Amino acid sequence: MQTNFTEDQLREPGIARANEILRACVHCGFCTATCPSYQVLGDELDSPRGRIYLIKDMLESGRPADAETVSHIDRCLGCLACMTTCPSGVHYMHLVDHARAHIEKTWTRPWPERLLRGALARILPYPGRFRWAMVGAKLARPFRRLVPDARARAMLDMARAPIAAPSAMDQPQVHPAAGPRRGRVVLMTGCAQKALDADINAATIRLLTRLGIEVVIPEGEGCCGALVHHMGREEEAKQFAARNICTWMAQMEGLDAIVINTSGCGTTVKDYGHIFRNDPLAEAAAEVSAKAKDITEFLATLDLPAPERHGMRIAYHAACSLQHGQKVTAAPKTLLQAAGYEVSSPADAHLCCGSAGTYNLMQPEIAAELGRRKAGTLMALQPEAIAAGNIGCMTQIGARSGVPVVHTVELLDWAWGGPEPAKLAQG
């Protein structure tokens, strides 16, 4: 596609990258077909092709963002289905990231939105604060009808989930391999996930150590930065990321992987190399990105013993960050099948469930519609449980499905010698 940037503009690395991406787009429109927001809203401005056009126009003119452009960019889930679909390899993720940062710099949001975004940015990445916020929200829930803003109501709804007590397992420490050591990994223990569900890290650690992998949880790691990154808060995101990069670089010797069991975070960590490409940390960031592996991606490299078969019907929900962001599509299903589960995938498996980080809080109507559709296609498979690889999806689908939603790794842990996942036992 033709672009109109001046030489001056192109000297700015962000614009140079945007230009490269825009030039690859041939405006064929394939991306519209798999875009969840376009499926719901049917306006091209709410599709990748329309957004690419809005972004192009905004960046070329160099003007500040405007309400119309912002509303359509905000409705993007960042699910990246468009990148799987695009026949031309247009890197939509980097383009929309750049646009979000531009919006954050040049557009003043109305105060309720500023308040909401500010609160999310200050709470979600910190498990301690998040737990307290959930306690507060639980107390406020009986009054939810009085809350005028749908977004604030969506936040209160999140407090339906039980609050997980801090777990001793995911504190900084080294979990030695059971038996002879076959490998050594760092486990990224995450932020919001810890507060919502402590079982996922516990299952990951149990399974890995049982398989002979030493699991290191280094002091200093924290939120990957994705939550603020997707709000366009570039500098904050880089601070989170830089801290992780420095922490993990100290562990690189003899390290097989940085294991991540929240795929939303995995996508961002794998992009550290790009985020820091013009920074002194570039080399280290690229090294960290290269080591980052989704838990299923890492498990697929191991020789696994014979499983204890539980013969359960599992509907597998592919998280967007896993299937589109990281292109990890086969490993979770193959592992679940190898573990003896009967695995099926729903219709329109490529479509987002509407969770998408903080999207379900900021765009509750679209998110609810996508959640309803996703729960419908999953339940049509008549599963006994649903498996997913991302805490956001689990919460979103769990609120709408009639069966337990578990993390893939919990099922794998159960099949290879771990306890039955608590969610199944309760369900």
Partner 1 sequence: MELPSPNPAILDRRAEIVARLKAALPAGTVIDDPRGLVAYECDALTAYRCPPLAVALPRSTQEVAEALKICHEMGVPVVPRGAGTSLAGGSLPTGDAVVIGVARLTRVLETDYADRIIRVETGRTNLSVTGAVEADGFFYAPDPSSQLACAISGNIGMNSGGAHCLKYGVTTNNLLGVTMVLMDGTVVEIGGAHMDAGDLDLLSVICGSEGQLGIVTEATLRILPKPEGARPVLMGFGSSRVAGACVSDIIEAGVLPVAIEFMDRPCIRACEAFAHAGYPDVEALLIIEVEGSPAEIDHQLRLIRGIAERHGPEVIRESTTAEESAAIWLGRKSAFGAMGQINDYMCLDGTIPVTELPLVLERIGELSAQYGLGVANVFHAGDGNMHPLILFDANKPGDLELCEQMGADILKLCVEVGGCLTGEHGVGVEKRDLMTVQFSEDDLEAQLKVKDVFDPKWLLNAAKVFPLAVTEGRRP
Residues 6+ apart with CB under 8 A from 301: none
Alpha carbon separation from 49 to 37, 271, 300, 355, 370 (Å, rounded): 12, 23, 35, 22, 20
Edge-to-edge, what's the strand order for the sheet holding 183-188?
173-175, 213-217, 183-188, 257-260, 292-294
Token pair listed for 8: 């001056």
What minimum distance in Å lies between the beta carbon of 175 and partner 1? 39
Least Cβ distance, residue 346 to partner 1 (angstroms): 13
Q: Which is nearer to partner 1, 28 or 139 (CB)?
A: 28
H or E segment to which residue 40 belongs: helix 36-41
**What is the C-alpha R_g of the chain?**
21
Q: Is there a contact between 122 and 233 (Cβ–Cβ < 8 Å)?
A: no
User: Between 50 and 383, whose beta carbon lies closer to partner 1?
Assistant: 50
Q: Which of 423, 413, 256, 420 shows the shortest CA–CA distance to 335?
A: 413
Cα separation, 206 vs 157, in Å, equals: 31
Q: How far is the CB of 58 from partner 1 (least distance, A)?
A: 8
C-beta of 92: minimal distance to partner 1 in Å? 14
Distance separating alpha carbons of residues 405 and 398, to the nearest angstrom = 6
- CA distances to 310, 311, 374 from 307, rounded to whole Å, are 9, 11, 30
Alpha helix segments (H runs only) across 126-233: 127-140, 150-158, 192-196, 199-210, 226-229
CA distances from 115 to 127, 148, 155, 355 (A): 20, 15, 13, 21
Neighbours of 187 (CB within 10 A): 24
Cβ 215 to partner 1 shortest distance, Å: 36
Q: Which one, 51 or 100, has the nearer CB to partner 1?
A: 51
Question: Position 361: which residue type?
Answer: L
Question: Which residue type, as a one-letter code, is found at position 146?
Answer: L
Nearer to partner 1, 42 or 62 (CB): 42
**Rounded to the nearest whole angstrom, what is the least distance from the CB of residue 217 to partner 1 in the complex?**
38
By the criterion CB under 8 A, which residues form the site for partner 1? 1-3, 23-34, 42-45, 49-50, 53-54, 57, 66, 68-69, 72, 85-89
Choice between 23 and 122, CB closer to partner 1: 23
Please say which residue, 52 or 213, places its beta carbon nearer to partner 1: 52
**Residues near 196 by beta carbon (within 8 Å), at least 6 away in sequence:** 161, 163, 164, 391, 395
Nearer to partner 1, 38 or 341 (CB): 38
Of the two residues 23 and 114, which places its CB atom closer to partner 1 in the complex? 23
In the complex, minimum distance from the CB of residue 388 to partner 1, in angstroms, rounded to a whole number: 23
Q: In the complex, what is the shortest distance from the CB of residue 31 to partner 1, in angstroms, rounded to a whole number?
A: 8
For the CB of residue 387, give the shortest distance to partner 1 in the complex, in Å.
23
Instruction: Provide the token pair at 425.
Output: 């036992």
Rounded to whole angstroms, the Cα distance separating 53 from 37 reads 16
Nearer to partner 1, 323 or 395 (CB): 323
Q: In the complex, what is the shortest distance from the CB of residue 101 to partner 1, in angstroms, rounded to a whole number? A: 19
Which residue's CB is nearer to partner 1, number 9 or number 239? 9
